[in-house]
Amino acid sequence: MVDMNFFEDIKAEENILIINECIAANGYAPEHSYFELLSYDSKDSKPLFVYFGDGKGLFAVDYEDVWQVLSEILAPKNERADLFIQFADYLFKNKNVKKIMVEFPFELRKEISKKIREKNKTFIDPTEKRLTVGDVVEHYYTPIISLEHWDPTLNGSDLSKLRKAKNRFFRTHKVEIIKNGDIANVPVKDIREMVLAWAKNRKAKDRASYDSYISFINNGCKGAAVSLLIKIDDKVRGLASASLIPNSEKTVYYNINLHDYSIPELGDFLTILFLDELKASGFQFLNFGSSDKKLLQYKEKFNPVSKYDSALFYVRYEPEKKKKEM
């Protein structure tokens, strides 16, 4: 067993230091960013860092009776399953939590399930609560874009639709591109209005991200490697941002891609401009973020060079399930 420290005040200087030390030592996933964790601070969610010592930990978000592990465990690969199980066991025994939501690679989910089953065999009392791994709620796919191979001229028949969309926007609209620190000169209320319009057009399960985007904007887009805002005909219509993936300095994560749905092809246009900017900034790869099958089809138009998959599932704490009678 390891000692666990729950850093509820993630803005305390001593805690920030430890969090960033853990990221530097064992960070590898797109969301392993202090500012990504900070963006989940809202009236309905409380971000925390769980410290296991020796440069190891995890990002967590407290939604009261439901907790989320944000991304993966900051630890060597062979320790992640055991650390997660110890964390989950402690959380259910000491907090009023009904379930923990996680998105892990299928390989890690399988390892966790196996270890929990083995642990549960030691229980004698069937009424005693124990960890259980729920079914896969969603199968996600994460495409990777090669910025080295990205062609800003969009030559070729496979990119003809994107090329026409890009040319059409510049031909028919007044386009203003605002980058990085200059975004701070744009009134926050103008950006918030765009985010609100975006949220109204999203599915219910997507709206949970709204508060984190507002927090990111209120924090001045801190933690972003590259940010890009576009105005169409003098009105804020899109915001894109990417953060560095720790211990992978040439790869960035497309963590924000918001735009006004009332304008056809604006999403394509924003992503094209952003890929152009990332390439010009010298990055080699873009992690396009996890997607369900429908969203993956959209992202594939940008010709990803590879993709990896992950599982969204829940871990619960409950008595042994009765076997069905034959």
pTM of this prediction?
0.86
Burial 78-87 (b: 16+ CB within 10 A, else e): eebbbbbbeb
**HSE-up of 246 (CA within 13 Å, CB side)?**
22
Whether residue 50 is predicted with pLDDT greater than 80 in this model: the reply is yes
pLDDT for the residue 204:
45
Q: Residue 206: CB partners within 8 Å, gap ≥ 6?
A: none
Mean pLDDT of the chain: 89
Min mean pLDDT across 8-22, 104-118, 238-252 is at 238-252
Query: CA 180 → CA 51, 215, 269, 273, distances in Å?
Result: 32, 16, 18, 14
Residue 73's pLDDT band (cuts 50, 70, 90): very high
What angle is formed at CA 293 by the lines to CA 288 and CA 299, rounded to 5 degrees?
35
pLDDT tens column, 253-274? 998 888 888 888 999 999 999 9
CA–CA dist 208, 61 (Å, integer): 12
pLDDT for the residue 326:
41
Query: CA 252 → CA 29, 73, 196, 279, distances in Å?
Result: 10, 19, 26, 11
pLDDT for the residue 229:
94
User: For the chain, what are the domain ranges?
Assistant: 5-139+311-318, 148-283
List 245's β-bridge partners, or say none: 248
Which helix (H) or strand (E) element contains residue 239? strand 235-245
Whether residue 121 is predicted with pLDDT greater than 90 in this model: the reply is no
Residues belonging to the chain: 326
How many C-beta atoms lie closer than 10 Å to residue 178's C-beta? Answer: 17
Distance from chain centroid for Cα 103: 10
148-283 falls under which CATH superfamily? Gcn5-related N-acetyltransferase (GNAT) (3.40.630.30)
pLDDT for the residue 320:
73
pLDDT tens column, 168-210? 999 999 999 999 888 888 888 888 888 887 777 665 445 445 6
pLDDT for the residue 189:
86
Percentage of the chain surpassing pLDDT 70? 94
Q: Residue 264: CB partners within 8 Å, gap ≥ 6?
A: none
Burial 136-145 (b: 16+ CB within 10 A, else e): eeeebbbbeb
Whether residue 308 is predicted with pLDDT greater than 50 in this model: the reply is yes
pLDDT for the residue 210:
63
Percentage of the chain surpassing pLDDT 90? 66
pLDDT for the residue 322:
58
Say if 5-139+311-318 and 148-283 have the same CATH topology.
Answer: yes
CA–CA dist 221, 242 (Å, integer): 10
Query: Which residue is it, tokens 């918001």?
Result: 258
Q: Residue range 150-156: average pLDDT?
A: 93
Choose among 5, 9, 85, 90: nearest CA to 46. 9
pLDDT for the residue 207:
45
pLDDT for the residue 150:
95
* Secondary-structure class of domain 5-139+311-318 per CATH: alpha beta
Take residue 25 and report the two structure tokens written for it. 């030592």
Q: Residue range 223-230: average pLDDT?
A: 90
Whether residue 220 is predicted with pLDDT greater than 80 in this model: the reply is no
Is residue 266 within 8 A of residue 300, CB to CB? The reply is: no
